[in-house]
Amino acid sequence: MTAADVDQEARLRDLVAEQVEEGRANQGEQSARLLFSKPMYYKEYWEYPQSESVFSADFTEKESLSIPLTAETEVEKIRFVTRVTRDRGEARDDTNYLRSTGIEQVSYELRHGEWRRIGSLFVAERTEELRDDGWEQIEERKQVVILDDEEPTSFWQRLMFWR
């Protein structure tokens, strides 16, 4: 790695640290947003843990003049989200949040000397629901699959798969 690459890494780490600090300044239930994902509505907000070493970054050099360097960062995050509903008013008034603790993976590309955020993905490690005695982990729903052991015997029976 060259000295310029080391400088770009430091700039990205500073950029991610700034974004985390901005997120900490705007966190809490008062910053909850009503979101629409056709045809459903829900509210969400997030918080960042108060630790100093919050993120990690992996850099990849590319053989491209326009995008010479890419980075994948991981930031610890706590996401609060309500259940989805078709009614906008019901989603707006809902205050029963689920808490998901996990890692947000954010992708960046170095374009024309500036880091650009490409996208992000939140990976939940644990999801909890607020009950009377505190946060309790939600059990995963298990899907039951019943396999039919009887195989069609003739060609025409195998061909009529829609029955």
Q: How many residues belong to the chain? A: 163
User: With 0-12 CB in 10 A as exposed, 13-18 as middle and 19+ as buried, what is 106?
Assistant: buried
What is the reported pLDDT for 50?
76
Cis amide prior to 39 (ω within 30 degrees): yes
The three state secondary structure string of 15-31 is: HHHHHHHHHHHCCCHHH
Which string of b and e fits 67-103 if b means at least 16 CB within 10 Å?
ebbbbebbbbbbbbbbeeeeeeeebeebeebbbbbbb
Residue 78 main-chain phi, psi, to 5 deg: -120, 120
Cα gap 48→43, rounded to integer Å: 18
* pTM (2 d.p.): 0.73
pLDDT tens string, the chain, 163 residues long: the values are 677 767 888 899 899 888 888 888 888 888 889 999 889 999 999 998 876 555 788 888 888 888 888 999 999 999 999 999 999 999 999 999 999 999 999 999 999 889 999 999 999 999 999 888 888 888 777 777 766 666 666 777 777 766 6
